[in-house]
Amino acid sequence: MEYFVTVAEEDSFTRAAERLHVTQSALSHQIKALERETGGPLLERLPRGVRLTPMGRAFLPHAERAVRSAGQARRAARAAAGAEGGELHVATVHPLAVGVLPEVFARWGREHGSVTLVLHEYAGEDELREQLERGVADLAVGHRPAGWRGPVLPVGHEELALVVPPDDPLAERGTVRIAELAGRRWVRCGMEPVVDGVPFIDRACAEEGFTPRTAVRTRHTSAAVRMAAAGAGIAVAPTHAVTTGGCALVRLEPHWRRAVTVFSRVELAGAAALFAELVAECGVPGPETSPAGPAAAPPARSAPSPARSPRAAPSRAAATAAGAAEAAEAAASGEPPASAPLPEVTPPTDTPPPTGTSSPTGAPPSTAAPPHRPLPPSPPGARGSHPGNPVRPGSAEPPATRPAPPGAEGRPAPPRP
């Protein structure tokens, strides 16, 4: 089966034989034996190379999973026996490979140099998940996967910030609100969060009453950052992924954050467990470590994040309590809650003032309930707002009041009976 997978990957018997260190005749003999066992041709021999038959295309995914699972089984057995050497295959997306894993890999080499790390990079979360399910890697480092059946270990949070050219008027700002970006041109990246099938930037802008003007679409975060630095438009990117100068980072208010996790198909053991612990220990770099860090720190707020008032949404109190119970149960079991697909968008420490106090802008806080849908529960450990909340922390919207009837201005209230 390993011979068949190698031939399919190389599209050539000659190259596959060289990679497997066997003769071409021996390789051909093994493929024919496999075809007799499966009951039909798996490969079509061409004058130059080979091509999978319909039967071969159906057989290949299962063969890949079996071959890679066998390799993982051998590595797990060696790790459990305390044997040195071998490889650990790690899958991730490009921004995390650039901004988070270099320090982890460097420390691994110093502390566990007998085990070689093999990195598999992918452009998007869907591809990362698909390849891990096919057994390409022993574990993955990525954002919290929705509905994942294997173990998921939270290791930190990444902050998303606005990327602008160094001469942009916003470059001197410490923070910026989405509402201030109406009319600006955007560089959109395929790695931006998606909530309920809607790109998060579209959702956030719609809540502020405008549609973002997309100037450029890219697949990789690094390309979006360079486009924004050159002035093609503004972009949103993880702060740890901005590893070079030539641009400025402006923190969004409220801050946008996403959970970063290590996840696998099976329980982490041996080298895989050591690697996950090391990722959690190193953590996720924040905006202060980026060469294009923000011009100034955001204003501090000492008040803790208040709970949502039951009077603001009395019909949703039961749903909120149920969501909190579900999150607590999920935290105890180690599984993500039902709201795990929502990217976390929470202020780290600077949270809005409690109900009844004025906001930093001097306006009273909003207490009106969301008119369109209830607030889904946040993942364990989340604080503040998230994409589903139409009222952001620190909002300057006054509370909704009922207009007084004509002629009632200045008239004292009638005494109660």
Q: Would you say residue 391 lies in a domain?
A: no
Which residues is 185 bridged to in the sheet? 213
Tell which of 54, 83, 112 closes a domain.
Answer: 83
**pLDDT on residue 78:** 63
Q: Is the pLDDT assigned to residue 183 strictly greater than 80?
A: yes
DSSP string over 104-166: HHHHHHHHSTTSEEEEEEESSHHHHHHHHHTTS-SEEEEEPPTT--S-EEEEEEEEEEEEE-T
Q: Rounded distance, CA 352 to CA 393, Å?
A: 5
Q: Rounded distance, CA 151 to CA 267, Å?
A: 6
Mean pLDDT taken over the chain: 73
Q: Would you say residue 24 lies in a domain?
A: yes
pLDDT band at 44 (very low <50, low <70, confident <90, very high): confident
Task: Return the biggest CA–CA distance within the chain.
Answer: 104
pLDDT band at 113 (very low <50, low <70, confident <90, very high): confident
Task: Decide which of 315 and 196 is more confident.
Answer: 196
242: domain CATH number is: 3.40.190.10
**pLDDT on residue 232:** 95
**pLDDT on residue 85:** 61
Mean pLDDT of 296-318: 34
CB 263 within 8 A of CB 140: yes
pLDDT tens-digit readout, 52-95: 888 888 888 888 877 777 776 676 666 554 445 678 899 999 99
Task: List the single range of 177-191, 254-268, 326-340 with lowest mean pLDDT.
Answer: 326-340
Residue 289, CB half-sphere, CA atoms under 13 Å: how many?
14
**pLDDT on residue 75:** 64
Residue 159 to residues 121, 212, 219, Cα–Cα distance (Å): 21, 21, 19
3-state secondary structure of 344: coil
Task: Using alpha carbons, select from 371, 390, 17, 364 the residue that is nearest to residue 178.
Answer: 390
Mean pLDDT of 101-126: 92
Task: List the single range of 29-43, 75-89, 172-186, 388-402 with lowest mean pLDDT.
Answer: 388-402
Task: List the single range of 66-80, 168-182, 323-337 with lowest mean pLDDT.
Answer: 323-337
3-state secondary structure of 83: coil
Give the domain range for residue 179: 158-258
pLDDT band at 123 (very low <50, low <70, confident <90, very high): confident
**pLDDT on residue 380:** 43
Residue 74, CB half-sphere, CA atoms under 13 Å: how many?
9
Q: Would you say residue 20 lies in a domain?
A: yes
pLDDT tens-digit readout, 359-400: 334 444 444 433 333 333 334 443 333 343 333 334 344 444
Q: Would you say residue 287 lies in a domain?
A: no
Tell which of 45, 68, 83 closes a domain.
Answer: 83
Amino acid at 249: L
Q: Would you say residue 118 lies in a domain?
A: no
DSSP string over 230-245: HTS-BEEEEGGG--SS
Task: List the single range of 121-130, 301-310, 406-415 with lowest mean pLDDT.
Answer: 301-310
3-state secondary structure of 40: coil
Q: Is the pLDDT assigned to residue 304 strictly greater than 80?
A: no
Mean pLDDT of 126-139: 89
Q: Name the strand (E) or helix (H) holding 309.
A: none
Tokens matching residue 403:
């207009």
Q: Is the pLDDT assigned to residue 157 strictly greater than 70?
A: yes
Parallel, antiparallel, or unpaired for β 248-263 and 175-176? parallel
Task: Using alpha carbons, select from 70, 71, 146, 111 the residue that is nearest to residue 275.
Answer: 111
Residue 43 to residues 16, 25, 37, 61, 81, Cα–Cα distance (Å): 13, 15, 14, 14, 39
Q: Would you say residue 92 lies in a domain?
A: no
Its pTM stands at 0.56
56: domain CATH number is: 1.10.10.10
Between the ranges 174-178, 265-269, 334-338, 407-411, where is the mean pLDDT highest?
174-178
**pLDDT on residue 177:** 94
253: left (phi over 0), alpha (psi -120 to 50) or beta: beta
Q: Is the pLDDT assigned to residue 176 strictly greater than 50?
A: yes
Number of separate domains in the chain: 2
Q: Would you say residue 296 lies in a domain?
A: no
Amino acid at 93: V
Q: Is the pLDDT assigned to residue 413 strictly greater than 60?
A: no
Q: Is the pLDDT assigned to residue 318 strictly greater than 70?
A: no
**pLDDT on residue 303:** 30
pLDDT band at 414 (very low <50, low <70, confident <90, very high): low
162/252 same-domain check = yes
344: left (phi over 0), alpha (psi -120 to 50) or beta: beta
82: left (phi over 0), alpha (psi -120 to 50) or beta: left
78/167 same-domain check = no
Q: Would you say residue 17 lies in a domain?
A: yes
Q: Rounded distance, CA 249 to CA 111, Å?
A: 34
Q: Would you say how long the chain is, in residues? A: 417
Tokens matching residue 381:
């450990």
Q: Name the strand (E) or helix (H) holding 254.
A: strand 248-263
Tell which of 258, 277, 309 closes a domain.
Answer: 258
Task: Decide which of 316 and 61 is more confident.
Answer: 61
